[in-house]
Amino acid sequence: MKNKNAIFIPLKNSNLLCLSTFIFCAIFCSSSVFSQDKDVGSIHGNFQTDVQYYNVDTVIGAPIVPEKLLMNGFANIIYTKGNFNAGLRYESYMNALQGFDPGFKGNGIPFRYASYSLDGLDVTVGNFYEQFGTGLILRTYEERGLGYDNAFDGIRVKYSPLSGIYLKGIIGRQRLFFDYGPGIVRGIDGEIMLNELSEYFSEMKTRITVGASFVSKFQRDQDPIYNLPENVGSFGGRLNISRGKISLLSEYAYKINDPSAVNQYIYRHGEAMFLSASYSQKGLGIVIAAKRIDNMNFRSDRNATANNLNINFLPALTKQHVYNLAATLYPYATQFNGEMGIQGDLIYTIKKGTLLGGKYGTGLNINYSAVNNIHTVPLDDLNEKRIGYTSDFFTPGDEVFFRDFNVELTKKISKRIKMNLMYVNFVYNMEVVQGLGGKGTVYADVAIADISFKLSDKSSIRTELQSLTTKQDLGNWATGILEYTYSPSWFVAVMDQYNYGNTNPDQRIHYVTGSVGYTKKANRFMLTYGRQRAGIFCIGGVCRNVPASNGLTLTITSSF
């Protein structure tokens, strides 16, 4: 939907003028206000561009790219003077790289803001990101690797009337590519940090923080079939308690009926709960967490799908893997409509001088996570109230969405040699997580060896050997990586992913890539050439599809 009231600055005409006017007006206004002050403030920022040239590669099923060459780029420019700051972000997609939503197209300034703080009051006008609690009813953020940006455009006010009392209020519309969604989001949040209220409380060993939030959205009902609520409210409460080595965190959120494309326009309410307990001391850390999500998709456009216009954030509560096969073949994506999950994490350092600790000590990390559906009883009311189902809050369903058991061992062998060894066991419901009907559940084992060898004070070499074995999906995979680094400027790397266990001999493909990078002070250049297999890329339970590709990629990053 085109929003005529949105303040989007197209860069076809006087874009650079608009860009410079915004920044330099801020400077001049600030200089005028502080005319007796010789400090005119400072300007800083950063820049990044990713340019890829695509080859035709029918063997891996890479889609044809008519433009041959695509580009994503952005630059942040921020002006700061005392308690005042203003900034903007220019973005360019000519056209967007494969795998990013084609809604990102063209040039523009989708993010600009000005803010100041004075006597406990903090005011922001323009674009901003915000989070209430863990984000169960409100969190906006940017993750460029996913093409995810649900920033607000509006007004945010923060105020602290007393030490230990923090209030927030926001109202705005959310970014949708170079436009804005049709809904208006309003929210308030209050937090009390008990130990900051008085000297008496500050001396308590137990630290207590309580908070509560309310968020609502407004979107006109223009649906010809359903009578849809135009105002949808949600609220949440949280309590954090810590004492010494132990911390407890709890949060609950409730949303009134919010028929949407994601929940098939049912009128059931939504609920979410997140619990976490942790213990830490020198050499030992333990975290146990649990969550329940029921119909908590919350967007400022009820018809939006994919990663567009999310008001809230529902954490995945699974380990964020970094090694290639474990991270990219079967990552978990949060299920908005219903899931129950637990996760336990143990981090332990075996002491130096012991049999297993050796001369330098040994790091051990054991992690387990499990996610099922929620137990539901369907209601045959889709032609009447459309509640959809009932669900007992504490009862998990029988369908397994995801299991991940992994053990990681980190060991320094000598002054020159370090290694990480890792084992991962996955149970992965592809039909649910990736929406691939007929794919069923994958049972996979992953073994990883990561060994670094320091050749000299400036040079080192690192190798990764990875194996994934499974009888389902595409069968077995192997990955090998060899990387040479010459500090502080150069690195060269070669990686080969080989699908040697594919049941189709023609699809037993090598995905080989080579990279070279150069860094000088705040500037970094990287060239990559080779094949990329199709899959999904996830961060924190939010994912995007990645199509197969073959070509040359140039990445430049810089800051000032």
pLDDT range class, residue 13, cuts 50, 70, 90:
very low
pLDDT for res 11: 40
Region at 358 (left for phi over 0; alpha for psi -120 to 50; beta for the rest)? left
Q: Is the pTM of this model over 0.75?
A: yes
Report whether pLDDT(17) > 80.
no
Whether 478 shows a pLDDT value over 70: the answer reads yes
pLDDT at 21 over 90: no
18 has a pLDDT exceeding 80: no
Q: How far apart are CA 441 and CA 425, in angstroms?
A: 13
User: Can you give the pLDDT at residue 489?
Assistant: 94
Instruction: Give the pLDDT confidence of 262-276 residue by residue, as tens digits.
Output: 999 999 999 999 999
**pLDDT digits 0-9 by tens, 274-291:** 999 999 999 999 999 999
- DSSP secondary-structure letter at 12? S
State the Cα–Cα distance between residues 176 and 174, nearest whole angstrom.
6
Strand duo 477-486 + 459-470: pairing: antiparallel
Q: What is the pLDDT of residue 468?
A: 97
Res 444 pLDDT > 70: yes
pLDDT of residue 26: 54
**pLDDT of the residue at 384:** 85
Report d(CA 515, CA 490) in Å as an integer. Answer: 11
370-399: pLDDT as tens digits: 999 999 999 988 888 999 999 999 999 999
Does the pLDDT at position 32 exceed 70? no
Residues 6+ apart with CB under 8 A from 549: 52, 54, 57, 62, 98, 531, 532
Residues 6+ apart with CB under 8 A from 243: 205, 206, 207
User: What number of H helices and E strands is found in the chain?
Assistant: 4, 32
Closest alpha carbon to 155 in 118, 104, 121: 121
| Cis peptide bond prior to 488, omega within 30° of 0 | yes
The residue-averaged pLDDT of 46-72 equals 96
Q: Please give the torsion angle defined by the CA atoms of residues 410, 368, 345 and 330, in that order, rounded to the nearest 10 degrees.
A: 70
Q: Which two tokens stand for residue 457?
A: 């004070």
3 state SS for 188-243: EEEEEEHHHCCHHHHCCCEEEEEEEEEEEEECCCCCCCCCCCCEEEEEEEEEEEEE
Q: Are the C-beta atoms of 237 and 211 separated by less than 8 Å?
A: yes
Type of residue at 20: S
Interatomic CA distance for residues 350 and 315, integer angstroms: 31
**pLDDT over 80 at 19, yes or no:** no
Whether 492 and 472 have beta carbons less than 8 Å apart is answered as no
Q: What is the mean pLDDT of the chain?
A: 92
| 31: pLDDT strictly greater than 90 | no
Q: pLDDT value at position 122?
A: 97
Cβ–Cβ under 8 Å, residues 453 and 445: no
Strands 165-176 vs 270-281: parallel, antiparallel or unpaired: unpaired
**Residues 322-370 pLDDT 10s:** 999 999 999 999 999 999 999 999 999 999 989 888 999 999 999 999 9
Tell me: the pLDDT tens digits for 74-99? 999 999 999 999 999 999 999 999 99
Q: What is the pLDDT of residues 486-513, one digit of tens each?
A: 999 999 999 999 999 999 999 999 999 9
Q: How far apart are CA 309 and CA 183, in angstroms?
A: 9
What's the whole-number mean pLDDT along residues 138-150? 94
- For residue 7, pLDDT beyond 50: no
Reported as a single tens digit per residue, the pLDDT across 462-476 is 999 999 999 999 999
Decide the pairing of beta strands 179-180 and 184-193.
Answer: unpaired
Encode pLDDT of 221-252 as tens digits: 999 999 999 999 999 999 999 999 999 999 99
pLDDT band at 536 (very low <50, low <70, confident <90, very high): confident
Residues 6+ away with beta carbon under 8 Å from 180: 3, 6, 8, 153, 173, 174
Q: Which residues contact 408 (CB under 8 A, 6 or more apart)?
A: 363, 364, 365, 366, 367, 420, 421, 422
For 124-134, the pLDDT digits (tens) are: 999 999 999 99
Instruction: Compute the distance between CA of residue 522 and CA of residue 172 in angstroms, rounded to an integer.
Output: 35
310 contact partners, CB below 8 Å, separation of at least 6: 150, 297, 298, 299
